Structure 1
Amino acid sequence: MKLVFLHTSDTHGFMLPTDYQDKGDYSAPISLSRVSTVIKAKRKEWGNERVIVTDAGDCLQGSPLASYCHAGQDFSRLDSFTACYNEIGYDGRCLGNHDFNFGLDYLKHYIAGNKADFVNDNILDESTEKPAFGQEFKIVEREGVKVGLLGITTQYVPHWEPQEHIKGLKFVSAFDQIKKLAPKLKKQVDLLAVMYHGGFESDLETGEPTEPHTGENEGYKILKEIPEVDIFLTGHQHRRLNTIVDNKPIVQPGYRGECVAEIVMDLDKDGNQVKVKDIKTALIDTADYEPDQAIIDHIKEVDEGTQKWLDQPIANLSEPAPINNAFEGRIKGAPFINLLQQMQIYFTGADISATAVMSEKARGFTSKTVTLRQVILNYPYANQLCKVKLTGKDLKEILEHTATFLEKDAEGNLHFIDRYIKPKPQLYHFDVFYPLHYEVDVSKPHGHRVVKLELNGKPIEDDKIYHLAVNNYRAMGGGFYPAYSMDKIEMMLDKDYVQMFTEYLSSGTVKVDTKPNYKFY
């Protein structure tokens, strides 16, 4: 018999084929509506009795439509949003780290509205140490074959979320939980599948580390050290991944519904024994499928509201603050980056500000009139702003870390190293600083690349205390930066970036600083 897994992850609330850059353009090669068409077609091709459909989280946050749903005064928009995921007919789901971005009340309402079962093994109730959401496992039977589903989420969520978003929860190692549960569940089933919102810390072929082994991603360790796991259904790193390692299919379906991962297993069942004869994996590009009208109908009213909401003018600038090119902005600066830094200092009173260019499509504010659409497209993450206490030595270490992102080619041209481009673009980890004046010579050895570092015309002093404005993701350790730690956070604002931009740009005439203050060479 054939057993087919169809797997999604990291759809991030992109229900319709638009990224909301251009109003009226619904031709993008993404979206849950295209995903739905793929899954319905595949169910028809293989038969419902052979198909298992799963999802590995990060659904609640990421798109302007998702932000609009959260901005509602009640949960009615969220209910329409949830109806879209219900249309898919998932057999099992797990949570992603971004599903906590809007707090526990919002998340609990979303889970309660889902028809699919959430499987959760490592997000525990702090007092009982039992799963805080969903169920510990699920057994799905297809033509006499029993498949066990386990669900895990990166344990790193507390490093990124404010405490009120995870109050009463305990996040434990995904590896430890699967190590404990897999042998027990495997006795009850023919095949064991793990849904994991987490990635791979080492190269799947060579085993070489691809990042610091912090515990954020434990996929390689699970794959190699827990033999009971037969099928690995992953997310989090936004990778397009379909491969077979040690006779185990491993998939990850990209980002925003760009594809559906498919695993087709050819099985022989003889009495109580199931033998795997053949495995094939594939990624099905959703661009080749039309949007599902059922999804469109569920979300039409919310989408129309989103478009109107995005076009609200929130303020006027003295002059435009663009980013003409994301790469150039990162290396040489841009007016929008300065404006964002000015705003962070305004709200925190910090000496220095740090931020990243959050999107390759970021264009800054290209006109004097600023709309919500421009704010969200330039800063799509639901971060909060912190003030952090650091020494001058800490600052130098952090700046030296930014230099590790870059290298020069044979012609002497700067470019970002592959690790931050593949398999998942991670240039949102590359921070720049304001109003520091600094220069970085990438050709020098590590630890000596920052050749100039001044604040207000004076060199940064190693032992002096400085106050830095930076988002909570970075302040809590996101991006593997040295020197940041939670005990250094002095304050955290209970405002998101849309709120801050609205307040700051409406506070009076804002003069955009257009002068560059750093350079890499």
Structure 2
Amino acid sequence: MKLVILHSSDTHGFLMPTDYQNKDNYDAPISLSRVSSVVKSEKEKYGADNVLVTDSGDCLQGSPLASYTQKLPEDEGLRKFTEAYNEVGYDARALGNHDFNYGLDYLSYYVDNNRAPFINDNVLDADTNVPFFGKEYTIVEKAGLKIGIMGITTQYISHWESEDHIKGLKFVSGYEVLAKLAKKLRPQVDILCALYHGGFESDPLTGKATEPHTGENEGYKILTEIPEIDVFLTGHQHRRLNLVTRNTAIVQPGYRGEAVGKVIIDFDKDTNGKVKINEMTTELIDSKDYAPDPAIEKIIKSLDEETQKWLDQPIAHLSEPAPIDDAIKGRIEGAPFINLIQQMQLWFTGADVSATAIMSESAHGFSKNVTMREVLLNYPYANQLCIVKLTGKELKEIIEYSAGFLEKDKDGKIKFIDRWITPKPMLYHFDLFYPVKYEADLSRPVGHRLTKVTLNGKDLEDDKVYKLAVNNYRALGGGFYPAYSMDKIEKIFDQDYVQMFSEYLTHGDIKVDTAKNYKFY
């Protein structure tokens, strides 16, 4: 006898098979519509009563369609958006950190209008310490088995999200709550699953640390210290994972609906009803091999058409383009688009220094005629701008940390160290700084690479306080940088980056700074 579990995560609002780079291309190997076809095909193959379908969040934000939907009244946009997810036929879901980006009212509408229950064990009401959303757990019967499902999200949301978006909430360790709940549920079920919008802080096979153990990702700790869990359904890191280790099946299905995680549990049940698991296998089903689901396309068609029209709206005209021809090269060598972001951040804040990262590997910067499409493809995140007060010593520590992302290969070519490329590309953590002029010698030890840091021709003073313009994700701890903390934030601006670009690019003539202010050697 077989139970099949299908798992999606991090679809980020890519409901149609397009990345919106080209409005006429709907052949992208991604999308919820392809995920839905995978699910329906597998249910036909195994029988719907033998297939459990789950998702671990990050659905509401990330695509141009999601951005446009958020601008509409909920009954017009979010209703259709939610119907598309309902069409997949999920049995249980969990929340992701980006699902909080548009505030609690928006998220509550989405949760309330989903047919599948949201399982939430570690996002609590700050006053009562009970789950703020959804159910503590659910028990689903499939293939004659009782399947317990727990659900958690990364506790680090409070480090990234603006206070008004999470007011009244308390985020606690997913490990801590699952350790208790798993013991309670295990005697009641045949199979115990954990839905987790989070990933692995250490390699699940070797235990080698793959990132600082900050609590953002607790997957390895959960895997190794909560043996009651049979199936671990993960997300957040956008990794492609499928393996069985420590008697636990693990999947993580990538990003934007590129794959569906599949767990097959082969089992026997004796005359007393006791279940014996014979074997667990895992795989990733690439959704590119499945045609988009017409039912989802029908639901979303009008919303998608409106999104494409919105994306082609001109926002501003620049006297010269601000390109970034290659994201990797631009980070290392500089690019006009990077400078333009820095100029914008300084214009809004009046800060002394600006820090920014390239947020998309497909970023190409702005043409002379800037459209909403260009803005969203270059800066897809719903971040907010902050002013952070730092001493010169702290600012230099931050710049030093960023210089630690780089190394030289045997041929002397500058490249990013593997830690920021594998197991998950995380180059959106690599910040550049402006208008400080700085140089870093990559042959020197990490933390001691800066050979020059000046502002307006003067060295940064260790004890002097400077104002830094940077996004709230970084200011609240994203990227593991030193020196940042909530108490150093002087101001958080209400607008997101799309709104800021719209205002900045239309306020008057803009001269894009094309000079390079940093050097790695």
- What amino acid is the match of 1:153? T
- 2:329 paired with 1:328: yes
Q: Amino acid of the residue matched to residue 475 of structure 2?
A: A
Percent sequence identity over matched residues?
A: 66
- Cα distance between partner residues in 2 of 1:32 and 1:447: 43
Deviations 1:140-160 (A, max 9, x none): 112321010000000000000
Q: What amino acid maps onto 2:115 in structure 1? A: K
Equivalent residue of 1:346, what SS? helix
Query: Aligned equivalents of 2:399 and 2:90: distance in 1?
Result: 45
Secondary structure of the 1:16 match is coil
Amino acid in structure 2 at the alignment position of 1:298? I
Contact 2:242 2:261 in 1 (8 A): yes
- Give the AA of the match of 2:508: G
Q: Number of residues paired by the alignment?
A: 520
The farther-off stretch of 74-83 and 118-127 is: 74-83
What does residue 463 of structure 2 align with? 463
Q: Is the 8 A contact 2:74 2:106 kept in 1?
A: no
Q: How does 1:190-201 map to 2 (within 5 A)?
A: 190-201=190-201
Deviation at 1:341, TM superposition (A): 0.5
Distance 2:143 2:232 in 1: 21
Distance 1:180 1:401 in 2: 38
Please report how far the alpha carbon of residue 96 of structure 1 lies from its aligned counterpart in structure 2 after TM superposition.
Answer: 0.3
Measure, in 2, the Cα distance between the counterparts of 1:35 and 1:144.
Answer: 25
Paired with 1:447 and 1:184, the residues of 2 have a C-alpha distance of 47
In structure 2, distance between residues paired with 1:81 and 1:143: 31
Aligned partner of 2:221 in structure 1 is 221
Q: Is the 8 A contact 2:391 2:466 kept in 1?
A: yes
Distance 1:232 1:349 in 2: 47
* 1:155-203 Cα distance to aligned partner (Å, 9 max, x none): 0000000000000001000000001100101111011000000010111
Q: Which residue of 2 is the match for residue 285 of structure 1? A: 286
User: Aligned residue for 1:126?
Assistant: 126
The one-letter code of the counterpart of 2:371 is T
Residue 356 of structure 1: aligned partner = 357
Q: Distance in 2 between matches of 1:380 and 1:342?
A: 19
In the alignment, structure 2 segments of 5+ residues that lack a partner are: none
Q: What is the Cα deviation at residue 91 of structure 1?
A: 0.3
Residue 308 of structure 1 and its aligned partner are, at CA, apart by 0.4
SS in 2 for 1:493: strand
Take 1:448 and 1:209, find their aligned partners in 2: how far apart are those partners? Answer: 23
Q: Secondary structure at the match of 2:257?
A: coil
Equivalent-residue separation in structure 2 for 1:483 and 1:263 (angstroms): 42
Please give the TM-score of this superposition, normalised by the length of structure 1.
0.99
Letter in 2 for 1:498: V
Superposition map of 1:259-338 within 5 A: 259-270=259-270, 271-338=272-339
Q: Which runs of 4+ in 1 moved over 4 A?
A: none
SS in 2 for 1:80: helix
Q: Provide the rounded CA distance (Å) in 2 between the counterparts of 1:207 and 1:439.
A: 36
- 1:471-521 deviations in Å (ceiling 9; x for gaps): 000000000000100000000000011110111111011111111111112
| Cα distance in structure 2, aligned partners of 1:403 and 1:506 | 34
AA matched with 1:344: Q
CA distance in 1, matches of 2:417, 2:447: 18
Superposed counterparts of 1:83-482, under 5 Å: 83-270=83-270, 271-365=272-366, 367-482=367-482
Counterpart CA distance in 2 for 1:4 and 1:120 is 23
Cross-structure match for 1:61: 61
| Distance (Å, rounded) in 2 between the aligned partners of 1:380 and 1:494 | 17
| Structure 1 unmatched ranges of 5 or more | none
Aligned residue for 2:36? 36
Aligned-partner SS, 1:394: helix
Structure 2 CA distance for aligned equivalents of residues 73 and 249 of structure 1: 41
Q: Deviations over 1:2-32 (max 9, x none)?
A: 0000000000000011100111101110000
User: What one-letter code is carried by the residue in structure 2 that aligns with 1:323?
Assistant: I
> Which secondary structure state, in structure 1, belongs to the residue aligned with residue 77 of structure 2?
helix
CA contact 2:51–2:143 (8 Å) conserved in 1: no
The 2-side partners of 1:474 and 1:147 are apart by 39
AA at the equivalent of 1:313: P
Q: Distance in 1 between the 2:253 and 2:143 partners? A: 26
Deviation at 1:399, TM superposition (A): 1.0
- 2:341, 2:144 → 1: CA distance? 58
Partner Cα distance (1:63, 1:449) in 2: 38
Q: 1:45 — aligned with what?
A: 45
Paired AA for residue 27 in structure 1: D
CA distance in 2, matches of 1:333, 1:300: 40
Letter in 2 for 1:351: D
Q: Secondary structure at the match of 2:17?
A: coil
CA apart distance, 1:445: 1.1
3-state DSSP of counterpart to 2:188: coil
Secondary structure of 2:495's counterpart equals coil
Amino acid in structure 2 at the alignment position of 1:362: A
Rounded Cα–Cα distance in structure 2 between residues aligned with 1:332 and 1:490: 31
Q: Deviations over 1:247-304 (max 9, x none)?
A: 2100000000000010001001112311110111000000111000001000000000
Which digits, 9 at most, give the CA deviation of each residue in 1:422-465, with x for residues without a partner? 12110000000010101111110122201110111111111111
Task: Give SS of 1:76's match.
Answer: coil
The one-letter code of the counterpart of 1:402 is S
Shift of 1:73: 3.7
Amino acid at match of 1:93: R
Q: Distance in 1 between matches of 2:419 and 2:170?
A: 31
Task: Report SS of the residue matched to 2:494.
Answer: coil
CA distance in 2, matches of 1:293, 1:124: 38
RMSD of equivalent CA atoms: 0.8
Paired residues of 2:241 and 2:251 also in contact (CA < 8 A): yes
Q: Structure 1 counterpart of 2:314, which letter? A: P
Once residues 369 and 408 of structure 1 are traced to their aligned partners in structure 2, the CA distance between those partners, rounded to angstroms, is: 38
Scaled by the length of structure 2, what TM-score is found?
Answer: 0.99
Give the Cα–Cα distance (whole angstroms) in 1 for the partners of residues 388 and 509 of structure 2.
28
Distance in 1 between residues matched to 2:68 and 2:178, nearest whole Å: 36
User: Following the alignment from structure 1 to structure 2, what is the Cα–Cα distance between the partners of residues 46 and 498?
Assistant: 45
1:74, CA displacement in angstroms?
A: 4.0
Structure 1 residue identity aligned to 2:294 = Q
Query: What is the CA–CA distance in structure 2 between the aligned matches of 1:11 and 1:203, rounded to whole Å?
Result: 24
- Partner of 1:375, secondary structure, is helix
Letter in 2 for 1:114: N
Partner amino acid for 1:52? L
Q: Deviations over 1:126-147 (max 9, x none)?
A: 1111110000000011232101
SS in structure 2 of the partner of residue 186 of structure 1: helix
